[in-house]
Structure 1
């Protein structure tokens, strides 16, 4: 059966709209499709910048915000129909009935699957479940990012990401400041990671320190991934950046709050999740984070 698939070249569309972490967790799906259909042209549609981290295994990425897709949610335009007729297969993670119905009327075969699990199945495994409808069983749900800019860093560097998509997910800034001071005493250089929504959290850490430290700010995600790949370790909150750190293979320590790590924990070769029994980040103790970091930092 696999040999038959290898001989067929087909265009495959994958639709998944989500944040940075959601998109990183889609990479195993794209990798499985690439392995099963090695001669195919795979187009992933969703949040464009994080999707740039998925080339390869995808061949092409497109933003779901493009004007081309607007009529997919109503009556498909001739332009959209002409484009979609090029695809023999679409794997779509949505429950939008209009979108699904329109695709089914144009694309050869459509596999639709809910974007979120209904239980405590990890999101990466949940997304892969859709491929069983194609006879594809992928046993490795670990995302691996191959597409990033190579960056040079000197010495032992600890990447610190004090932000997230929600203040309630953030560990207190004074704890991050104390952690940075501890790392510096060990000869480890801190590097604060600041995304578009992280400025307040980063400045709070700087204020708690009482001085400036190096900050990587406003960088495209491919460069952020390159920086994280060169760091000796990463520590941060439950965020898309933590998923990137894990997926480039950097030893990663993630502090979780209200979100369930069984579903949303980053997957990687060396990932440690810390969560208080209360589900509140402020109840995660500094000593615990330090002890876990000792386990992942190079000797």
Structure 2
């Protein structure tokens, strides 16, 4: 009788868009290193890997179980005599230690996301420091399992249909395209005044500017167009589903000279097509959360007491960073035909 396929379980807390994107390189590495394993992705809460990113994650994962305890996933999938490995993407040493103790003696290999990997050290395994960036942390866990170096690939593919739609939205002009994003939750959203001022400056400089109306707090298309009528806006009025809208954003990112917006999921999304990016950061640890594209300018939001709001960031600082990024692109990549 054949033994069951080795079981590989990934487990996380909640995956916002940025979290899911940073996990994809590890999932790709796992599918490469363990082609015979049955791979399950589970989480305590919702996951973008079953939402906007599902089409990208589906070839890498056999079963998804979101909003499900790890114990329930083990009870469903683990089989007597089979090999089971749990890769725990969650952070927080106390919680990881509790999970490790719960799994002790159950024949489960447990790879937690411990700082420095010190507590997951095994005999015969060389101890190495955990990478600073979250995406490389997750990927390193898979390399430790495999015992070898593995490809790291954070890119996403763009369907031709999305490219066609993006070209149609852009029109026939030859002005370089800049994407703006300002909607977010909490202290991350940009104000109407910021977006309108940034857009107006860039339009005056000869760029085509497209505002991406995404979910969250922040400027409404109507308010923005009242302030800056030359601005173009895309959003829910297109009537696209969440995956199709994500594809369109990727296609626009491919052709854009830059994306300008707050630190968060959109910045990580555009990094998968290597869009040059300006992000306004209101306090995220960028060693852990920096977008994985090659050209990123960071503007730090001013702190007012214990908090920092993106909406308080001077427009001048955002524009200086944007023009600096664009000038460097013209200098270093003149063959791309960016505006001089």
Map 1:227-242 onto structure 2 (within 5 A): 227-231=248-252, 232-233=255-256, 234-242=259-267
Cα distance in structure 2, aligned partners of 1:171 and 1:51 = 25
* 1:225 alignment partner in structure 2: 246
Please state whether the residue corresponding to 1:266 is helix, strand or coil. coil
| Aligned with 1:288 (options 305, 321, 332) | 321
Cα distance in structure 2, aligned partners of 1:257 and 1:141 = 28
Tell me if structure 1 keeps the 8 A contact 2:179–2:212.
Answer: yes
Question: How much has 1:16 moved relative to structure 2?
Answer: 2.0
Per-residue CA distance 1:211-256 (angstroms, 9 max, x = gap): 7732223855432332222222222110111101111333333222
* 1:271 alignment partner in structure 2: 295
| Aligned with 2:180 (options 153, 160, 175) | 160
Could you say which structure has the larger radius of gyration?
2
Q: TM-score, normalised by structure 1?
A: 0.75
Map 1:2-81 onto structure 2 (within 5 A): 10-17=6-13, 18-46=15-43, 47=47, 48-52=50-54, 54-55=56-57, 58-60=60-62, 62-65=64-67, 69-70=68-69, 72=70, 76=72, 81=75
Cα distance in structure 1, aligned partners of 2:63 and 2:219 = 31
Q: TM-score, normalised by structure 2?
A: 0.67
Question: How much has 1:187 moved relative to structure 2?
Answer: 5.5
Cα distance in structure 2, aligned partners of 1:89 and 1:226 = 33
Cα distance in structure 2, aligned partners of 1:166 and 1:219 = 26
Taking only aligned residues, the RMSD between alpha carbons, in angstroms, comes to 3.8
What count of residue pairs does the alignment treat as equivalent?
A: 281
Asked if 1:113 corresponds to 2:113, the answer is yes
Tell me if structure 2 keeps the 8 A contact 1:30–1:57.
Answer: no
Question: How much has 1:145 moved relative to structure 2?
Answer: 2.1
Q: Unmatched 5+ residue regions in structure 2? A: 118-128, 171-175, 330-335
Tell me if structure 2 keeps the 8 A contact 1:84–1:107.
Answer: no
Question: How much has 1:104 moved relative to structure 2?
Answer: 5.5
Structure-2 change in CA distance of 1:140 and 1:262 (3 Å): farther
Tell me if structure 2 keeps the 8 A contact 1:10–1:39.
Answer: yes
Q: Unmatched 5+ residue regions in structure 1? A: 1-7
| Aligned with 1:127 (options 131, 138, 145) | 138
